[in-house]
Structure 1
Amino acid sequence: MTRTKRTISALAIAISAGWAMPAAAQDDAAVAQELAQMRAQMAAMASRIDTLQAQLDAARAEAQAATTAAGAATASAAAATEAAKAEPATKIAWKGAPEIEGKDGWSFKPRGRLQYDVGFVNAPDSTGRPDGFGNEARRARLGVEGTMPGGFGYKFEVDVADSVEVTDAILTYKDGPATISIGQHNNFQSLEELTSSRFTSMIERAAFTDAFGFERRVGASVQYAKGPVLAQAGLFSDNIDALSNKNGGADGRIVFMPKSGSTQLHLGGSIHYADLQDGSTVRYRQRPLVHFTSQRFIDTGTLGASSETGYGLEAAVISGPLHAAAEQYWQHLNRPGALSDPTFSGGYAEVGYFLTGGDTRGYKGGTFDRVKPKNPVNKGGLGAVQVNLRYDWLDLVDAGIVGGKQAGYQASLIWTPTDYTRFLLNYGRMEYDNAIYPAAGGDRSYGVDAFGVRAQIDF
């Protein structure tokens, strides 16, 4: 019996006893009836109290369950918040343009560059060559690049400076130190050629790269980079704009790029072979430094060709503000039938120095890379200022073919105010021997001056 019931029973007994004394004078039936009524009322009160007690116990149990559930929900929400912090769904970084990184290896970044050139060329009047002022939008490129789940990547870019021209159209797969590339991309010829036009030390690359027709081609290649060693090899057809034809070739390059303290070293070699379809021709020629002139003072003319074989050597060093680089390349032409097979050559040697403290030339993956000023203009500094000197030679005379020789003496001043902007002044004096255009008296040995200025932005 509960404490409440005992209390009610005791009260009932007391009341009964209190009524017992006067009850003797009353009618026994009336007293009995009243007592019965009182007992019924007490029983009803006891039942009501039991019901209320049960309801109170149930409410307490429900409150405890709700408290437990709320605690579990709070813990779950906290865990979800921490997980979200540890693994954000999307990240956006700024690298000249927004680079968006999603889950599972997805990324996307727009890319592009604009280079505008202006200057002049001065040749001897007696050659009859038009010269003087020139200008052009040298490159106007726009594209995208990024990665996909599973180690895949992509890059697509077009140049609209003159017409719509596909420059890069690549699908890549990377697994550890190995990268496989399929599509239109650079084959493996020359440090100068593989260094982006955004980062060259002169307004144009060394003469031999253009004279020997280095360009992107459609093919498949593999690169292996581990420690100081980089090996590259690929099979290629022709530039995407020249397809379809039966031309095909193979390229290979190996680079040893150790660091000694803060000094970056570069030693490399490359080999190139192109098998040309029947009836093919080639032509090796070159402008005087700047691209906005159409005049070429050395030129082999059109030559029948069955194949080309090229060999290149590369060397470079970067030590603080100082850098030096040199290359030599030999292009051997196999001609059909009993025609003689010439070997032409070209190369350059250069040295550069930063006048602004703390700046150095960039280097990455076997090529020169972006200069990042220590004190850029957007942070109150001057940016990076660099001077460069180069000797650039090209020899297109061999096996009875007299295309001329060039000895170029070039100087450049480069101002890089921020990571993604660049201004370049370039002067060159090209001394020609056996030039294709005679000057007064039939003289084919003379000099041509060229001056160019470039404004550049990229992202």
Structure 2
Amino acid sequence: MTVRHLKLSSAPLAMIAVWAAPAAAQDAAVADELARMRAQMAAMADRIDTLEAQLASAKMETQAAPPAAAGGDAKQASTAEWKGAPELTGSDGWSFKPRGRIQLDAGSVSAPDGFSDSGLGFGSELRRAFIGVEGEIPGGFGYRAEVDVAASAVEITDLYITYSPSDAVTLTAGNHKPFWGLEEMTSDLFVSFTERAALNTAFGYERRLGLSASYSAGPFVAQGGVFTDNVADLNDDGNNFWSLDGRLVFAPKIGDGQMHVGGSVHWRDLNDGADSVRYRVRPFIHTPDVRFADTGAISARRETGYGLEAAYIQGPFHATGEAHWQRVDRPGAIADPTFFGGYAEAGMFLTRGDTRGYRGGAFDRVKPANPVGEGGFGAVQVNLRYDFLDLIDAGVVGGKQDIYGVALVWTPTDFTRLMLNYGHVVYDRAALATASGDRSYAVDAVGVRAQVDF
């Protein structure tokens, strides 16, 4: 019994042993396969991490370098800024900006007692309406093209190209200003009265076609050039003159103040007496087509002009003045007259934080510390001026003119302006006489301007 029982009990054990051996072997194989799969997945994860790192690096390189354009050239990125108008600038050195200005004037000039002229009284005009473009060209070149469309015909103003071989030197070819004095070299957008001082108009300051050079280093500015007539007047009478014009400026900073002193020389040949000159000016504002100070036509061979200029800006205060002597060399034994013009001016901002702009030997844009549209009132400035012109010498009687002027200027934003000015103008031996023959009298002039530029 016992033996049989033992034999019967060993049979199941043998069967379990037979089935257990293959199962154990199968489990080991599965474990090995799972281990291999885990190793492969780990390797794949490492490969994915490597590929992601390479892709991120490639994106960074693509963003840093401009993409290739058609033909194999690199396409340069461009930026846009707002400076009264959009200015587009490319990383290759190109830039382009539209520019322009609108000045609407109105005013009135009283008539002397016993004087009747339809040009006096109230008048209004579109004083200036400039439109143009400017920009830079790779290689240190630049350009400006601008016209005035205020009158019936289009008038060319600035039309030139520049080349700057260095930051200090600029060469200019085309129609531009021949480096007159401080106020004439200041844009009409930034002057302190609606019209510049009488000497600037009387002595024929204008843009002319020429080639010039300008050097600027620290407080020193030197400018000079060779010029002919204004581009609009070329070949009008087949008598094109030529001139040499130069200007020196020393403009150091003195503490918080800006000093300016300078001088200019101008020599113009008029083809040996085949031409004439005429010096005249309107009474303080531009709307009346009347000139009480007027030399009439003077036969001339050449002109020689000398100018001195000075200015100082300290916070809200500014003071400036100029003097100019104009000598006319006449043909034959006729005496040579020398005429004189000059002015002195002082101004003060009534609004906190505002000052008169200055850059490169000329007054620059006023930028209100608290402009309208940003919670402020803009900049308010009061200016006083004494302006003198003497057109009497060597037998020429064009009159003497004294102007006592005051101006109120409101600059709401960087690119807008409203101006109101009054002038009491006193004449001695004026070119125009009253009905009784009187040539010494006074007139009063009031002018206003609304201005926007971009």
Q: TM-score, normalised on structure 1?
A: 0.85
Among candidates 235, 251, 263, match of residue 226 of structure 2: 235
Match of 1:205 in 2: 196
Match of 1:93 in 2: 81
Match of 1:133 in 2: 122
The DSSP-based 3-state class of the residue aligned with 2:56 is helix
Among candidates 142, 167, 172, match of residue 162 of structure 2: 172
- Work out the CA distance in 1 between the residues paired with 2:352 and 2:163: 40
The one-letter code matched in structure 2 to 1:74 is A
Match of 2:60 in 1: 78
Alignment of 1:3-402 (within 5 A): 68-82=50-64, 89-130=77-118, 131-162=120-151, 163-174=153-164, 175-244=166-235, 245-278=239-272, 279-402=274-397
The one-letter code matched in structure 1 to 2:105 is D
- Work out the CA distance in 1 between the residues paired with 2:133 and 2:345: 33
The one-letter code matched in structure 1 to 2:63 is T
- Work out the CA distance in 2 between the residues paired with 1:272 and 1:171: 23
- Work out the CA distance in 2 between the residues paired with 1:267 and 1:117: 32
The DSSP-based 3-state class of the residue aligned with 1:310 is strand
Alignment of 1:374-453 (within 5 A): 374-453=369-448
The one-letter code matched in structure 2 to 1:109 is K
Equivalences, count:
413
The one-letter code matched in structure 2 to 1:405 is K
The DSSP-based 3-state class of the residue aligned with 1:376 is coil
The one-letter code matched in structure 1 to 2:268 is A
Greater Cα offset, 74-83 or 123-132: 74-83
Per-residue CA shift, 1:278-321, capped at 9, x if unaligned? 51111111100111110000111111111111000000000011
The DSSP-based 3-state class of the residue aligned with 1:119 is strand
1:411 Cα offset (Å): 0.6
- Work out the CA distance in 2 between the residues paired with 1:280 and 1:157: 29
| Structure number with bigger Rg | 1
- Work out the CA distance in 2 between the residues paired with 1:61 and 1:363: 69
Which runs of no fewer than 5 residues in structure 2 stay unpaired? 1-17, 19-37, 67-74
The DSSP-based 3-state class of the residue aligned with 1:442 is coil
- Work out the CA distance in 2 between the residues paired with 1:231 and 1:209: 20
Match of 1:49 in 2: none
C-alpha contact 2:181 2:264 (8 A) present in aligned 1: yes
1:57 Cα offset (Å): 11
- Work out the CA distance in 2 between the residues paired with 1:74 and 1:200: 56
From the two aligned structures, give the one with the greater helix fraction: 1
The DSSP-based 3-state class of the residue aligned with 2:106 is strand
Greater Cα offset, 423-432 or 433-442: 433-442
Per-residue CA shift, 1:156-210, capped at 9, x if unaligned? 1000000201100110111220011110111111101110000001110000110
C-alpha contact 2:136 2:143 (8 A) present in aligned 1: yes
- Work out the CA distance in 1 between the residues paired with 2:105 and 2:442: 22
- Work out the CA distance in 2 between the residues paired with 1:246 and 1:337: 21
The one-letter code matched in structure 2 to 1:180 is L
- Work out the CA distance in 2 between the residues paired with 1:192 and 1:83: 48
The DSSP-based 3-state class of the residue aligned with 2:412 is strand
1:153 Cα offset (Å): 0.6
Match of 2:7 in 1: none
1:81 Cα offset (Å): 3.0
Greater Cα offset, 68-77 or 337-346: 68-77
- Aligned-pair identity in percent equals 56
- Work out the CA distance in 2 between the residues paired with 1:325 and 1:108: 35
Match of 2:451 in 1: 456
1:443 Cα offset (Å): 1.7
Greater Cα offset, 167-176 or 57-66: 57-66
Change over 3 Å in CA distance of 1:451–1:70 after alignment to 2: same
The one-letter code matched in structure 2 to 1:251 is D
- Work out the CA distance in 2 between the residues paired with 1:152 and 1:88: 18
1:72 Cα offset (Å): 2.1
Q: TM-score, normalised on structure 2?
A: 0.86
- Work out the CA distance in 1 between the residues paired with 2:372 and 2:40: 74
C-alpha contact 2:112 2:434 (8 A) present in aligned 1: yes
C-alpha contact 2:305 2:325 (8 A) present in aligned 1: yes
1:88 Cα offset (Å): 8.0
C-alpha contact 2:76 2:92 (8 A) present in aligned 1: no
1:62 Cα offset (Å): 9.0
- Work out the CA distance in 2 between the residues paired with 1:439 and 1:288: 16
Match of 2:27 in 1: none
The one-letter code matched in structure 2 to 1:198 is L
1:74 Cα offset (Å): 2.1
1:83 Cα offset (Å): 5.5
